Structure 1
Amino acid sequence: MRIGELAGEAGVSVRALRYYEEHGLLTSVRASSGQRHYPRGAIGRVRLIQQLYAAGLSSRTIVELLPCIEDGEATPALLDRLSHERDRIEEQIDSLVSTRDRLDHLITTATRAKDVGHRCPGWVGPPPP
């Protein structure tokens, strides 16, 4: 498939695909005309790359991780790095859950206050258990 087709199928820009190639995250075969061609499996790879970027992993970390995904081989150093990334993501999740809980509390309290004609309370302290 050509670069525009892959971009459309994977939901990314052509520019993103070129960036992935520049950083060793994705490979293509060039036709004699210079056009890039990708296998169908590239769609899943691009989606994985997007997911890893969204989780905050760097290009460098993703490049190190991809061989592990492809052939199942991982060095102890890579496993340590991945554990660190997992822990960082877990902290992000905890923080997001806490923020969501505070917003839920604020919404609930504001709805009750509105129903009885009072002002919305400010963002004070953690939500009650």
Structure 2
Amino acid sequence: METASRSELWVEEPVGRRRLPDPVRTAAVRAVLIAALTLIQAVVAFFFTLTAFWLAFPMVLTSVASTVVATWAALDVWVTRQVWNQRHGVVSTPSSTARALRQERRRARRAARTEAREAARIRRRDTRGGHLSRA
């Protein structure tokens, strides 16, 4: 059998975006469900109004109320995501220029520390005496 020459049936590909954190995903699912129920309720209220059914007015009122709740749920997703980012930090990858600048600053600080250490060592050696070049 030639299993090696056949192409694979299932190929794993890396995902472009990371998964949402659990609290954010929960809030997003809740917001989508509320928005879907609000849309269904608005359509039912519209048809009840067209047919002059006695439940039309209460349905319109509850549709307005559920629209407010759906807006609140969407804001909840946004606030939950902001809180998550503040508490757990945002994973970011700096650009290559930022990385190069940071490495350059780090090298300069390291060189300055080395020079300061060397100067302090020379001063300590000079203060003890015994250096022949002193006049």
TM-score of the pair, normalised by structure 1: 0.31
Higher helix share: 2
Q: Which structure would you say has the larger RCO, counting Cα contacts within 8 Å and 6 or more residues apart? A: 2
TM-score of the pair, normalised by structure 2: 0.30
